């Protein structure tokens, strides 16, 4: 059996400071997995709390880039029978000033994408068969898979 | 005198921060106009989030280091120009919801703008001197100012 190549990990956060220590633990763990070679690289990006569609902000290069990333996440979900609708929520709001309604895409506090080359291998958080898989759980799984691979390697030799 | 490239970087908490969208949209619209009129050459938007805790794993990442370096650079620019940016980057003591540990967090402004001429930091808003100069105020000034008056007092740093 050929080993699965180490994924390149991109972590997206609303803000560098989180209210709980969870984000800190995720980044710490990812960096350890990077040093251990379990993940090829781990990068952190700030994407803010939301993006309002049909705005000048959404039309900027950064806005387009962000929307493209979310659209690739959704393609992955469609291919793999997962749903991102909970974490990535489109919300209709009405402007008090203009009375016009706007669609705002709320972004999750932390999301993680794993890539093999340019191809997305997994996105968390997601829901599949009624179960929510969090970033934290996914990071633990990546760590456990390596531990298992390492111990079976040790037995073989 | 030939005009030097005038590049702008806009730092925002979010592409849709609650309550601040209108102001941010006006700023971006104004930047589009100024770029179309040739007052600025190019502008870029960077999302930097709401806060950063200097003593954290997140602040040690390249992204976190960039944010802290930018805040430092803005502070140095302000000092060199006899103004201050401090009140726009207030430090708060935050208590962890889980461990109860206290740590210092720097709040980032909803929108901040850096102008670079020839690759060097030329101007930062918002800042406070005798009065506060806002991002929108600065953009209005850029739109009305002629190239010559903008360049006639070049930045002189020792």
What is this model's ipTM?
0.85
Q: CA B64, A103, B111 angle in degrees (round to 5)?
A: 35
> B129: distance to nearest CA of chain A, Å?
29
CA distance B81 to B128: 11
Per-residue confidence at B62, pLDDT binned at 50, 70, 90? very high
Average pLDDT for B93-108: 84
What distance, in Å, lies between the first and last C-alpha atoms of chain A? 16
The average pLDDT across B125-138 equals: 96
- In DSSP terms, A104 is beta-bridged to A52, A91
Query: Of the ranges A52-61, A95-104, B20-29, B98-107, which is most confident?
Result: A52-61
Q: What percent of chain A has pLDDT over 90?
A: 68
Of the spans A105-109, A144-148, B20-24, which averages the highest pLDDT? A105-109
φ/ψ region of A116 (left if φ > 0, alpha if ψ in -120 to 50, else beta) reads: beta
Ranking A40-44, A115-119, B144-148, B149-153 by mean pLDDT, the lowest is B149-153
pLDDT class for A144, splitting at 50, 70, 90? confident
E strands in chain A: 8-13, 41-46, 50-52, 89-94, 101-106, 110-116, 119-124, 126-128, 131-133
What phi-psi label fits residue A48: left (phi over 0), alpha (psi between -120 and 50 degrees) or beta?
left
Name the more confident of B78 and B23. B78
Contacts B18 to A, Cβ<8 Å: 49-50
Closest CA to A114 of A64, A89, A150, A80: A80
Q: Which residues in chain A are contacts of B12 at CB distance < 8 A?
A: 48, 57
Q: Residue A12 corresponds to which tokens in the numbers above? A: 């997206």
Write the residue in A18, A44, A49 that is nearest to B61 by C-beta. A44
Among the ranges given (A112-116, B97-101, B102-106), the one the predictor scored with the smallest mean pLDDT: B97-101
Mean pLDDT of A24-50: 94
Contact at CB, A17 and B17, closer than 8 angstroms:
no
Residue-range domain boundaries for chain A: 8-156
pLDDT at A32 over 90: yes
**Higher-confidence residue: B122 or B158?**
B122
Q: Which of B28, B53, B97 sits opposite A57 (nearest CB)?
A: B28
Distance from C-alpha of B134 to C-alpha of A40, rounded to nearest angstrom: 43
CA dihedral B14, B16, B20, B26 (to 10 degrees): 100
DSSP lists the bridge partners of residue A91 as A104
> Which chain B residues have any C-beta within 8 angstroms of a chain A C-beta?
12-18, 21-22, 24-25, 28-29, 32, 44-53, 56-59, 61-64, 67, 94, 96-99, 105
Counting one residue from chain A and one from chain B, the pairs whose CB atoms sit within 8 A come to 122
Cβ contacts of residue A101 below 8 Å, gap of 6+?
A92, A93, A94, A95
Residues facing residue A54 across a β-bridge: none
For the record, the structure tokens of A21 come out as 């220590």
Among partner residues B14, B22, B52, which is closest to A48 by beta-carbon distance?
Answer: B14
To test the contact with chain A by mutation, choose from B7, B10, B15 the residue with the greatest count of A C-beta atoms within 10 A, namely B15
Cross-chain residue pair A17–B105, CB shorter than 8 Å: yes
Under 8 Å between Cβ of A23 and A46? no
Top residue of B8, B9, B16 to mutate, by most chain A CBs within 10 Å, is B16
CA angle (B14, B81, B112) in 5-degree steps: 5
CB < 8 Å to B53, chain A: 16-17
**Neighboring chain A residues of B15 at a CB cutoff of 8 Å:** 47-48, 50-52, 55, 57-58, 60, 62-63, 66
**Distance (Å, rounded) from C-alpha A77 to C-alpha A133?**
13
Q: What is the mean pLDDT of residues B4-31?
A: 85
Query: A52 with B21: CB under 8 angstroms?
Result: yes
Closest CA to A48 of B74, B46, B134: B46
- Please tell me whether residue A119 adopts helix, strand or coil conformation: strand
Q: Partners of B104 in the beta sheet?
A: B93
Q: What is the pLDDT of residue B21?
A: 63
- Kindly indicate the confidence band of residue B20, based on its pLDDT and cuts at 50, 70 and 90: low
Tell me the chain A residues in contact with residue B13 when contact means C-beta distances shorter than 8 Å.
15, 48-49
Those residues with Cβ within 8 angstroms of residue B45's Cβ, 6 or more apart along the chain or in another chain: A57, A60, A61, A62, A63, B9, B10, B12, B15, B28
A96 with B64: CB under 8 angstroms? Answer: no
Q: At what angle do helices A22-35 and A135-156 cross, to 10 degrees?
A: 30
Note whether B64 contacts A51, CB cutoff 8 Å. no
């Amino acid at each position: 059996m050929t080993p699965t190549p180490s994924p390149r990990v991109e972590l997206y956060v609303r803000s560098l400071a989180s209210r709980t220590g969870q984000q800190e633990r995720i980044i710490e763990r990812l960096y350890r997995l990077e040093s251990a070679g379990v993940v090829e690289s781990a990068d952190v990006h700030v994407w803010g709390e939301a993006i309002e569609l049909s705005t000048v902000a959404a039309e900027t290069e950064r806005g387009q880039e962000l929307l493209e990333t979310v659209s690739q996440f959704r393609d992955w979900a469609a291919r793999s029978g997962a749903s991102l609708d909970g974490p990535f929520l489109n919300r209709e709001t009405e402007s008090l000033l203009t009375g016009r309604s706007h669609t705002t895409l709320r972004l999750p506090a932390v999301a993680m994408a794993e890539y093999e080359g340019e191809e997305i291998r997994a996105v968390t958080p997601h829901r599949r068969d009624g179960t929510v898989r969090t970033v934290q759980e996914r990071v633990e799984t990546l760590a456990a898979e390596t531990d298992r691979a390492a111990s079976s390697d040790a037995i073989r030799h | 005198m030939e005009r030097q490239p005038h590049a702008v970087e806009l730092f925002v908490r979010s592409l849709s921060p609650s309550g601040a969208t209108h102001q941010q949209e006006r700023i971006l619209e104004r930047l589009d106009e100024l770029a179309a009129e040739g007052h600025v050459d190019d502008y870029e938007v960077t999302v930097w989030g709401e806060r950063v805790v200097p003593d954290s794993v997140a602040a040690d990442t390249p992204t976190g280091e960039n944010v802290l370096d930018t805040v430092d650079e803005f502070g140095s620019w302000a000092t060199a120009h006899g103004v201050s940016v401090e009140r726009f980057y207030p430090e708060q003591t935050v208590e962890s919801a889980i461990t109860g540990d206290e740590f210092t967090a720097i709040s980032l402004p909803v929108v901040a703008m850096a102008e670079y001429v020839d690759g060097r930091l030329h101007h930062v808003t918002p800042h406070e001197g005798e009065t506060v100069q806002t991002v929108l105020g600065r953009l209005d000034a850029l739109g009305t100012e002629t190239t010559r008056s903008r360049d006639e007092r070049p930045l002189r740093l020792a």
